[in-house]
Amino acid sequence: MTQYIFKRLLAAIPTIFIVSIIVFGLLRLIPGDVVETRLAEGGVVTEELKERMRAELGLNRNPVAQYGDWVSGAVRGDFGSSLWTGKPVNELILDRVPLSLEIVLLSVLLAVSLAVPLGVISAVKQDTPIDYGARLFSIFGLSFPDFVLGTVLILFLTVYLEPLTFGRFGPWLPQLGWFKPWEDPWRNIQALMFPALILGYRLSAISARMMRSTMLDVLREDYVRTARAKGLAERSVIMRHAMRNALIPVITIMAGQVAFLFGGTVIVEQIFLLPGLGRLTLESVLRRDYTVVQATVLLMAFVFIAVNLAVDLAYGFIDPRIRYT
């Protein structure tokens, strides 16, 4: 397995290199730059002022030299400073990572808790009211965009549940913004519960449909019929033989969604005013803050590669027939 991991890590190097070239080049193709965006907030802007600021930020240099400096710094773990605020990019990202990581963990926990039982029950109870209800649940999750669910949820909580209280904790309304869990755990849960609910619902809808489909295929396999013919209890057949094999495609899909969630939660973060990585990336793109966008995209590429590697390794624990040789 060590050799397999080493080969995968080596294969990730050209992927990261290609991603860095693409993001660096595409950002320079966007009309305007950070200098024009910053000066647009002031008064009279002259070409001389623009050129002087570009020289200060190093944007007047050859693009190849700019890319070389950025890559050499990134290899050392230094992504430079923000062209907008002047703060170190590493500091900006580290401030946002805990929030994004917490949302991802809560969303995945909720999605797994819903998707796996719903998919298994729906497959076992095929073409029954339970199956129809589970499929309807999944269709709703796939049909409604995140911004619709978020807006409707806030409207419902504000209009209908505002007079209600939840024990001694006051009105049961979403807390806008983010509160560090080690400082105010309850407000942290209130602030992230509803965003995680929206993201987890969508992820569970996709995974539940896949779980049902794969379970139906596995339940028709010969080894499942053999296990039943040997007199094994139905619960043992479902849990020990069928579900483990049905989980592999579900984990693959969920892994791709997890990597996306790490930086692709812009809409939910905007609705609930959460300062996550997705919002940081969107704001940096609008400001043409090249260094921040390059760092966040590269980080998301790292996360995607790491998650896929972890999933491939998990296959061996789920299905003992898989060997890494």
**For residue 28, what pLDDT is reported?**
84
**For residue 169, what pLDDT is reported?**
44
Q: Please give the single-letter amino acid code of residue 283.
A: E
Average pLDDT value for residue range 80-91: 87
d(CA 251, CA 257) in angstroms, rounded, equals 10
Instruction: Assign 37 a pLDDT band (cuts: 50, 70, 90).
Output: confident
pLDDT tens digits, one per residue of 119-152: 888 888 888 898 898 888 888 888 888 778 877 8
d(CA 250, CA 216) in angstroms, rounded, equals 13
**For residue 221, what pLDDT is reported?**
83
**For residue 322, what pLDDT is reported?**
67
- Residue 321 pLDDT > 70: no
**For residue 41, what pLDDT is reported?**
66
Q: Which of 25-39, 172-186, 291-305 has the lowest mean pLDDT?
A: 172-186
d(CA 249, CA 243) in angstroms, rounded, equals 11
Q: Which of 75-89, 146-160, 213-227 has the lowest mean pLDDT?
A: 146-160
The residue ranges of every structural domain in the chain are: 7-75, 95-221+258-300
Instruction: Assign 176 a pLDDT band (cuts: 50, 70, 90).
Output: low
Residues with Cβ within 8 Å of 159's Cβ and at least 6 positions away in sequence, in order, are: none
- Residue 65 pLDDT > 70: yes
Average pLDDT value for residue range 294-322: 81
Encode burial over 81-102: b for 16+ CB neighbours within 10 A, e otherwise.
bbbbeeeebeebbeebeebbeb
User: Backbone phi, then psi, for 81, in 5-degree steps?
Assistant: -115, 155
**301 with 46: CB under 8 angstroms?**
no
**312 with 137: CB under 8 angstroms?**
no
**For residue 205, what pLDDT is reported?**
87
**For residue 168, what pLDDT is reported?**
44
The fold of 95-221+258-300 is: MetI-like fold (1.10.3720)
Instruction: Look up the pTM and report it.
Output: 0.79
pLDDT tens digits, one per residue of 240-283: 778 878 888 888 888 777 777 776 678 888 888 888 888 888 88
**300 with 259: CB under 8 angstroms?**
yes
Mean pLDDT across the chain, nearest whole number? 81
